Amino acid sequence: MLQNEKWIFEAWDRTVQKVKDNSKRIGDKFPHVSINGKYDSADIRWWTNGYWPGLLWLIYRDNGDEALKEIAMSCEEKLDEALYGFYGLGHDVGFTWIMSAVAHYKTQKNEDSKRRALIAASYLASRFNINGRFIRAWDMEEATGWAIIDCLMNLPLLYWASEAEKDDRFKFIAMAHADTVLKEFIRADGSTYHVVCFDPETGERTGALQGQGYAQESAWSRGVAWAVYGMAISYQHTGEKRYLEGAKKAADYFIANLPDDYVPYWDFKAPLEEEMIRDSSAAACAASGLLEISDSVEASEKSVYYNAALKITKSLYENYSAWDEEEEGLLVKGTVAYSHKPQVHIPIIYGDFYFVETLAKLKGQKSLYL
């Protein structure tokens, strides 16, 4: 499929060079968003701290760059402060330790990395509400019964732990949460809720919240992207067709509602306005998930999801990439949340990661989540 897609290899080579250049300044810090052309450094407990080492591991797997590997390993060691401190880790430990410790273990069979990842998996499993069959989000008092769509992307840490320890208990928790997402988060049209609330005692659904979307019943585009990719991952780890069907439902919605350049607005159901806010990070995440769906469906359906991923990624490369030396981010016009005005239309580390991961997959690599 790649014979006529030389741009993929061009994009990869340019990306690798830019990451190598960035690494000389960023080092083993933890970039989150780029402000005035330079990536910030997030607090040690911030949920995005796995993305920079994960991005470095993606490139190391391809070219064996020892300098990038050393930085990724140093990031992982620095994260011990958060891991062994525990307080404030929340539900996003999967994002952090899948792309640091698990990636390191898979690549180098490092036992310290395995230990770190298993501790993080145990912490994530401890947040499971058995009555509601969901993993609790956040630690605020009012959030005792809240779950969020993002957490689908933390489940691979539990799947990995079950495989590593030959202990299905982690997997059972992951599947229970995924089933709750299928039932309570993904709407009939394939759009998704961001936050769903449950009674923490009975487990009964009590409502939903706006979260980072335009409104409670709208469709935050990165939330839909989490569903596309997260459900595809659950299928890859379990072989359960219901997860693949959930991934396809969200993917079909995502694809059908893309604008002409294949990069979504920040919310699919927000009222259109002049200079509508985009989210390149949602596009990059969805593209990576679409490739997983393409690998999972029957031959007759493969091209639907593969071609959509290809068009999204090509548009990101041609229309949303930053190649000048004044900007460290790889993708422009990422949006953390519309309500956070300083964090609109800026480079975001997870947008960069999923862009690189999608390019890596198009070249034949596997996801770090598998």
Give the active site residues.
Answer: 92, 150
- Reading phi first (left if > 0) and then psi (alpha if -120 to 50, else beta), residue 78 is in alpha
Residues 6+ apart with CB under 8 A from 178: 152, 155, 230, 231, 234, 243
- What 8-state DSSP symbol labels residue 365? P
Alpha-helical segments (H) within 126-168: 155-165
Measured in degrees and rounded to the nearest 5, phi and psi for residue 33 equal -125, 150
- Reading phi first (left if > 0) and then psi (alpha if -120 to 50, else beta), residue 314 is in alpha
Distance CA 321, CA 332 (A): 6
Alpha-helical segments (H) within the chain: 6-26, 51-63, 66-78, 80-85, 93-97, 103-108, 111-125, 155-165, 169-184, 221-238, 241-256, 280-296, 299-319, 349-362
Distance CA 351, CA 153 (A): 14
Q: Which residue has the tokens 């079909």?
A: 252
In order, the DSSP letters of 240-270 are -HHHHHHHHHHHHHHHHT--TTS--BSBTTS
